[in-house]
Structures are given as C-alpha cells and as structure tokens.
Structure 1
Amino acid sequence: MNNHHLSRGGDGKPSTKEHEFNIRRKIDSHINRRHFLRECIEEKVLPKSTPVQLSDNHTPFSDSIKKYLEESCVKLTNAIYELKGKSNEVHLPHHMITSLKTINNKQKEKLKQKLDILCGNSNWKDMGRQDLITNLSKKTLTNTEREVLSLGLKFDTGNDQDSYAELVSRNYKWNDTDVDKGFKQGILLCCKAFSDNKTSQIPRRYKKALQDLKNDQEIIITQADKGGGIIIMDRTDYINKMNTLLEDTTIYEKKHIGYAQQSADTFNKKARKILKKNERGKKLLHLVEEAPRPPQIRGIPKVHKSGIPLRPITSGIGSAPHRIAKQLAKPLSQMTPASQTAYHLVLVLKQHFASLPLEDPTQVSSIPLEFQNKVSV
C-alpha cells in the first residue's frame, strides 16, 4: 500500500479515512481467506496452516481436518463481524477504493494459485492405480481425469445412486399393513433426503471430471476382461465391435419388435398362476416385475488378446424373472455348494462338447445356441 494514498492527522495518528481503509482491507482479506478455506474443504486438500498432527498419509482428507477448517471459517466470520462493528462507513476517495480493489484482486489471485498447487500436490493423486488405465480412444485425458479414474469403477463416492422408488420397491412386503407401508415410506423419504444432502467424499474437481467424462458422447468407459483394469474406447469402435459380435447367428437370434414384452407378459402370467397355488407362493407375488425391461448386453474388452475383442456380458436386472430368480437362488445355493454346482456344469459341458468336431475344445469361448437350452435345464 502506497503511503501517499493515505492521510494522517496532525498528531501522527491515522485519520478517519485511513482507519476506514485499513478496516475494509482487513475485512476483504478475511473474506478471501474464508473463501479459500471453504474451497479447500470442497477440494479435500490441506492448507499449510493445518496442524501436522491432523494430517494422515493414509487418509487424504479426514473428518478432523474438515472440522478444523470449518472452525477456522467460523473464527474468520466472527472476526469479519467484529471489524464491521468498528467501521464508521466513511466515504472513501476514489484512489483509496481503487487501491482496495487492486489489493483484493491480488490476494484472490494468490490464493487461487495456492489452491491449484495444493490440488496438484494432494495425497489424492496417490490413492489410485493409474497403471490400470488403458486409453484406446483418441481422447487425451487430463491429469485430474486420470486421477479420478485410477480410483476404480467401484469407488464409493458417498452419494446414494438409488431413486426413492427403487428404495421403496426393495423394502416392500406384501403382508404389510397400510400403516406399516406409510411408516416405511416416511423413513425412506427422510433417509433419501439426508443422503442427497450429504457432502460428497471425493474432491469437487473429481466430481467435475467424472461429469465431463460422462457427458462425452465420443467415448465409452468400461472395465477390462481381466485384471480389474479401466478401458476408455471410442464409442464408434465399441459399437462396431458389438455389432460384429451380434452378427454371429450361431449364438444370437434376431427377434421381431415386441418379442421381449410378449415373453415377459407370458412369464408373469405363468409365474402368478403358480405362486397363487399356496400361501408360501402368495408371499412371493410382490416379486413379479410389473414393468419389466429386456435383458441388456454389454461388451468387456479383452485387452490381453490380439485385436482387443469384446466379451459379451448379459444383465437380467429389471427383467421379468430376475427378482423371483434372485429369491429362489438363496435356498438353492444353500442346498448345493458352489463347488458342486460348478463341477456339475463342467460335466454337462464336457458331455456336449465331446460330440463336436473341434480340433482343440479348450479354444471354445462361447456355447452354441443349440446347446444353451440344454445346459440351462
């Protein structure tokens, strides 16, 4: 601050305008500092003022650090109100106002640079494994995008991804009274609202990077067939490989429009008829999917093979038989150990493949359509 901007009284004490200037400068400084600490909370980084005993190499941003920064923000807020109480609200000349703006902008820029440095040197970049990322697309990933992808596709961000309707459906029981149903719905509504308002467990820059990757319609992000790797592919390349996969008529069969809905309606009709025959079956009627959707297929890249083909994965979640099959699988899995089930499947496959004219049966990567129904029975 230049001295010629200020004026002093005859006794050498700061004048009223100089006093007001200093108060406003301190207020702006505290506001900028408070904003910086709040940004540190959002970005999950530790400013240098954080006590050493609060830092943890295993946890990039702990609850104790967050509490310390929040308390620091409260102290700054109290200091701001205290300074405002000392302000005389004297009108300052133009050159003093200009000087305040210059000082304020310089401090903001300096704190922004500090925040960028803290984000670049934070412990978050060492939390994942960037060696598991394979970029097969034309897109160049930023450092932040690589860091957030290195956390893995199953990393828990702390936010609930389920809708309220899905939570209600999961906790529905056919024999609940209207009072019980209303009570459950009220509890679920409160829990959902609390979860939606909960602060994310990942830095804001990571959330933005994930949103940018999600909105990029030119790429596909999926997991590798082996090793738990993360693969980024061009969407056109992925679609072409999936179309090539589906063109194999020995595995897949093209059906007319409406076939999936027709099959689902037929299944639901027969399932209801069977379940209504006894009281135990009636208790499972709520598992019949009222609005089923067709099973979905996706491809997982085999990066360890030449040409990087796709391995088809079919998901029946939301389909007509899914909820009933999931419920019936529980007692069946208890009756038959997994090892015995797998062993029985191997015997069935061996029996069917023995009659095929194959030079090397171990090279078979898929089951022909004519044998799929026999194996599933």
Structure 2
Amino acid sequence: PEFSLVKAMMMTMRRGLPENLSKKEKMALKQLKNDPNLVIKQADKGGGIVILNREDYMQESMRILGDNTTYRILNGNPIENFKKQFSELLNKGFENKVINKDELDYLFVKSPRMAVFYYLPKIHKRLENPPGRPIISGIGSLTSNISQYVDFFLQQFVTKTPSYVYKHHGHQ
C-alpha cells in the first residue's frame, strides 16, 4: 500500500516535469532495452549506465558463480526448510517476549521469493570486459523483513564505528 502511494506520487510529479529526451532518443533507448542480445546495468561506481553483450554478461556471471569457496550448487530448493526453522525461531522470540505479535507478523514472510543474483560491472577497474560486483537481491525473500528490522536497530551504532564515512547529500 505505501509503495503504491509513493509510486502514484512520483508519477504525478513526473507529469509536471519537462521531457529531456527527444522522440528519437526515446525510441533508441526502447530499442536497446528490448534487444535480447544486450544487458543494461548500472555501473558499480559513479552512477553510470553500462550496456553489455548478453554473452559476455553470462560469461562473467558464470565466472563469479563458479567460485566454490563462496557459492555452491544446491540439490533442491531449501526455502520450505528455512521457512520452518525461521518460523520456529520467531515463535520462540515471541514466546520469550523478545518480539511482540505485530513484529512476529511483520518479520515472517509468508510467501517468500527466491533471492536473485546479478552483478554490477566495475567499469572503474576495466572498460573492456569489466569484472562484476556480485549482488544477491533479497527483496521479498524470507529474510527481507528481518534485514530491515535489524538494520533499523543497528543504524544508531553505524556512525560510531571507526570506519564510518559521512557522505553529504549530493556527494559520493
């Protein structure tokens, strides 16, 4: 519900903005987006956009996922087993008054999605065949809500860590 509201507000605000692309430019972007031989990703640093040959993108993905110290092939989908264990853990937290009913309901994702792998090209390292920074997107996954929950409580400690660097809005 909140996301829909934000999306509606953004669409309303966007309508009032002047167009900054010509019709030709919009058509060119649409063609690139719909080309099955291309992958379009945000650059790892600098906020740029990178257009990659799909074959090269897949090759780098397989190189990253081929690292057996970090990734391994599973024999099946472990979600149901994880869901059961996670539910038991949350219920123990509720029974021991570590979390309340609202938190219990929020933290347990009833129909979780499988986390998704992709990578961001590190064009600051190399422009041709750039290495990739692996990302596992857990949006909608079993641990997505508890990640936000834990993050909320840890934020107060982040600024106190020696490695914390303050980023002023508009600067990276």
TM-score (norm. length: structure 2):
0.72
- Structure 2: where are the runs of 5+ without partners? 165-172
| The one of 319, 324, 336 aligned to 2:141 | 319
In 2, Cα distance between equivalents of 1:341 and 1:267:
33
Compute the displacement of 1:316 (Å).
1.8
Name the structure 2 match of 1:260.
Answer: 79
Compute the displacement of 1:323 (Å).
1.0
In 2, Cα distance between equivalents of 1:341 and 1:264:
36
SS of match in other structure, 2:161: helix
Name the structure 2 match of 1:303.
Answer: 123
Q: Pick 1 or 2: higher relative contact order, CA cutoff 8 A, min separation 6.
A: 2
In 2, Cα distance between equivalents of 1:320 and 1:342:
30
Higher percent of residues as strand: 2
- Structure 1: where are the runs of 5+ without partners? 1-166, 172-187, 344-377
Q: Show CA shifts across 1:216-259 (max 9, x none).
A: 21111112222222210011110111011111101111112212
Aligned residues: 156
Kept after mapping to 2: 8 A contact 1:268/1:289? no
Compute the displacement of 1:210 (Å).
4.0
Name the structure 1 match of 2:167.
Answer: none
Where in structure 2 are the equivalents of 1:1-377 lying within 5 Å? 167=1, 192=8, 195=11, 199=15, 201=17, 202=19, 205=23, 207-278=26-97, 280-287=99-106, 288-306=108-126, 307-334=129-156, 336-340=157-161, 342=163
Quickly say closer, same or farther: Cα 1:280–1:251, change in 2 above 3 A: closer
Aligned-residue RMSD, C-alpha? 3.2
Kept after mapping to 2: 8 A contact 1:264/1:319? no
Name the structure 2 match of 1:162.
Answer: none
Letter matched to residue 114 of structure 2: P
In 1, Cα distance between equivalents of 2:55 and 2:16:
33
Compute the displacement of 1:263 (Å).
1.9
Larger Rg: 1
Kept after mapping to 1: 8 A contact 2:65/2:71? yes
